[in-house]
Amino acid sequence: MKTALIGLGRTGKNVAEYLIKQDTLAMVLCRQSSPNANKDIGEILGSNLTGITVETIDHLERKLFHKQPDVLIDFSGHTFLKENIHTLAKCGVNVVTAVTDYEPAEIERLRIFAEKGNIGIVMAPNITYGVNVMMLMAEIAAELMGDYDFEVFEEHHKHKKDRPSGTAKKIVNKIRTGLLEEKEIPEHVVRAGGIVGKHKVLICGEFDKIEISHESFSRVAFAEGAYKAAKFINGKTGFYEMSDIFEYERQQRRQIVIQHQPTEFEKEDPA
Ligand SMILES: NC(=O)c1ccc[n+]([C@@H]2O[C@H](COP(=O)([O-])OP(=O)(O)OC[C@H]3O[C@@H](n4cnc5c(N)ncnc54)[C@H](OP(=O)(O)O)[C@@H]3O)[C@@H](O)[C@H]2O)c1
């Protein structure tokens, strides 16, 4: 699989490093005004030269046809995919977008386009494995503890524009899915310093409480999730979220467990 990357900001640089280590990065894109344009990605990362020059997004179609990446990983801003989705589809490039500031109408447009079979998209405002497991736990807690109060807390660095985070909104949706009746779920937001990302669900009753929390120590966690999503969407069409990928992996693991169940014959004759 050949990957392309757009968005060399705080997170994108870590993702670039990770993709180089996986030997999958074939192309890096940036805005026309970016100071990174026409530099070797190794130079930007302060490492060895790689031979991969950061290219601007003008004449995108020609550049994609030339490099032929299978999947583009997007850590830029919401306008990139909106403006270039048709070009990516035309060039047969699927997309993992980790961008979090899409308007609901934009997401709907992307969903309809992908569901028509034009392209494969993973929409991943919550890209780490851990945070997805945490959401599952919150949903289960909501199913079992509907009479408790649920509150969601999130903390991120002071440059993060959206508040609450896409992940916090998703956690609230998961809790609502688990609850039988409508109830208020307060959300608390901190934007300070260099916090990479922290989410917590407080489940509080009259006599006890549960706290489920997830914290990313390093942006490499985002890179790992993006790579996992890229491997999943490679060669597929349709619109997916990270939860679809984790559900798919869960099913695969269950299949393996079933296949490894000992037969009656094996049970009788352990040798
Ligand atoms: N899903 C997750 O779990 C997760 C995790 C981390 C981050 N994110 C999201 O990923 C995005 C980037 O985060 P960040 O913290 O790395 O932000 P950042 O430091 O501001 O970096 C954004 C980068 O994207 C480039 N960019 C912005 N708009 C663009 C466009 N329209 N076309 C091409 N390039 C564009 C910028 O280019 P210039 O250098 O030219 O300014 C910049 O290098 C945000 O939406 C953030 O919320 C998601």
Q: What's the burial of 234, exposed, middle or buried (CB within 10 Å: 0-12/13-18/19+)?
A: middle
pLDDT of residue 268: 65
Please tell me whether residue 34 adopts helix, strand or coil conformation.
coil
pLDDT of residue 256: 84
In the predicted model, is pLDDT for residue 12 greater than 70? yes
Taking the centre of ligand 1 as the mean of its atom positions, its distance from the CA of residue 109, in whole angstroms, is: 21
Condensed to tens digits (0 to 9), the pLDDT of residues 33-73 reads 999 999 999 999 999 999 999 999 999 999 999 999 999 99
- 231 catalytic, yes or no? no
Condensed to tens digits (0 to 9), the pLDDT of residues 50-59 reads 999 999 999 9
> Average of pLDDT values for 196-225?
95
Q: Which residue has the least CA distance to atom 44 on ligand 1?
A: 99
Reading the block at residue 98, the tokens are: 């980790």
> Average of pLDDT values for 161-182?
90
- Percent share of the chain, pLDDT over 70: 98
pLDDT of residue 240: 97
Cα 79–chain centre separation = 17
- 161 catalytic, yes or no? no
Give the residue, out of 6, 14, 15, 31, with the most ligand 1 atoms within 8 A of its beta carbon, to mutate for a pocket test.
Answer: 31
> Average of pLDDT values for 86-111?
96
In the predicted model, is pLDDT for residue 267 greater than 90? no
Long-range contacts of 190-195 (CB under 8 A, 24+ apart): 190/153, 190/154, 190/155, 190/156, 191/155, 191/156, 191/157, 191/158, 191/160, 191/163, 192/155, 192/157, 192/158, 193/157, 193/158, 194/157, 195/155, 195/156, 195/157
- Structural domains of the chain, with CATH: 3-127+221-252 (3.40.50.720), 129-216 (3.30.360.10)
Taking the centre of ligand 1 as the mean of its atom positions, its distance from the CA of residue 111, in whole angstroms, is: 21
> Average of pLDDT values for 164-170?
89
In the predicted model, is pLDDT for residue 14 greater than 80? yes
Torsion, CA 9, CA 11, CA 12, CA 16, rounded to 10: 130
Torsion, CA 198, CA 251, CA 230, CA 102, rounded to 10: -50
Please tell me whether residue 95 adopts helix, strand or coil conformation.
strand
Task: Please provide the size of the chain in residues.
Answer: 271
Residue 206 CA to residue 48 CA, distance in Å, equals 58
Let me know: does 230 contact 4? Beta carbons within 8 Å. Answer: no
Residues 6+ apart with CB under 8 A from 16: 5, 8, 25, 28, 41, 44, 45
Condensed to tens digits (0 to 9), the pLDDT of residues 123-155 reads 998 899 889 889 989 999 999 999 999 999 999
In the predicted model, is pLDDT for residue 271 greater than 60? no
Reading the block at residue 169, the tokens are: 């909104």
Residue 259 CA to residue 13 CA, distance in Å, equals 41
Q: Which residues line ligand 1 (CB under 6 A)?
A: 6-12, 30-31, 33-34, 75-77, 79-80, 98-101, 124-128, 222
In the predicted model, is pLDDT for residue 207 greater than 70? yes
pLDDT of residue 161: 86
